[in-house]
Amino acid sequence: MVSCATSSRASHTAKSGRAWGGWRDRCAVAGPGRAGFPSVSAAHRWIGPPLLKRGRGTRSVSARCGGGRIGRRPSRDVAPGGKPTPWAMVLGAPPAALAAAGMPLPAGVSEDGYVGALAGTGVEVVRTETNGLYVPANAEIVLEGHISADETGPEGPMGEYHGYSFPHSKPQPLFHVEAMTYRDQAVLPVCAAGVPPEENHTIWGTMIAAEATGLLRSAGLPVDLAWCPFEAATCWMVVSIDREKLVASRTTQDQLVREVAEVLFDSHAGWLVPKVILVGDDIDVTDIGQVVWAMATRYRPGTEYTFPEAPGIPMVPYLTAEQIRAGHGGKSVTSCLRPEEFTGTVRATTASFATSYPPKLRRSVIADWAAYGYR
């Protein structure tokens, strides 16, 4: 719980009428214009709630800001001469803003513009009380203040998205809190990070998968859908391959795997997920039961390709200390594509209710299912 230097009740009504992410007139904020220094809030950069960890004392919070979502430490974002950098953190943002904060959009893509695209309209914003940054007008709680250029505070220990809690805290940049505003009867959203599923997997993982799907399709690969199963703690990305397009492409397994790796592991989305699994489009990648069945019956030892030089998020729990320091390692692509799927031949079909019986019989069974005594 953060106790702020000043606390005021605010309705967050849109006094200015400005909008975040409007289709034609986006509000691009670089900080409180008169000072001209950059901001890690508003349109400049969005961060997801999991970055809020643990503060020092009663008027500061610390956050992990190296690599990934933000890309560099705030100390590199401060104004010349070490002037403090203003910041604002929204707790309880509009759903579209929450989704965008967890989505690994490519560098240069306007995140506030993306929010407007998801919502179909710009998000109404107001200025913060102390530093003039823009925040959503209907936010539940807003913390604001400045980022220290050289101070750090302990982060953790706490549960993480992969389901583990390591015993040691780490020094991270310190965010000084100078004010907190909130709605009447504000709701503080909380993500209890740990063993899946929780919101890191349902929100963050889903948005990672959405971005990966777009990247793979844009590269011309025969991809139907990419998905991060909730149960795999955002450590698996299962990619469904369109088998008709696969045959038409006349590619080989080696070539397909390396093309997928080249696209994904060179992207922000691929940086976040260490293991990629390829399956045919007869597998519903959103059904963990089907994914496990495909792994058990279609994976052939030797069809896992490792990419030790590919960069990746250092929070993956199985990485060695050396891999964490180097910033790469632990990445792989596993092919569960059967050899005949590359040529269009059929050696075996799936034996299931959906595939082994005539449609008329299936409809009859489903219609009488309750009469059989089942629910």
Q: Which residue(s) pair with 279 in the sheet? A: 240
- Among 105, 101, 82, smallest CA distance to 139 is for 101
Closest to 309 measured CA to CA, from 346, 265, 341, 270: 265
Identify the helix (H) or strand (E) that includes residue 142: strand 141-155
| Measured distance CA(101)–CA(47) in Å, rounded | 5
292/277 Cα distance (integer angstroms):
11
Known catalytic membership, residue 160: yes
Whether the link from the prior residue into 167 is cis, omega within 30° of 0, is no
Structure tokens at 254: 């080696």
Distance CA 212, CA 277 (A): 13
Q: Where does residue 329 fall: left (phi above 0), alpha (psi -120 to 50 degrees), or beta otherwise?
A: left
HSE, CB side, 13 Å, CA atoms: give it for residue 349.
7
β-strand pairing of 236-241 with 275-280: parallel
Give the helix ranges, DSSP H, for the chain: 95-101, 111-119, 199, 206-218, 243-249, 253-264, 268-272, 288-298, 321-326, 353-356, 359-367
Catalytically annotated residue among 129, 140, 151, 160: 160
**Which residues belong to the active site?**
160
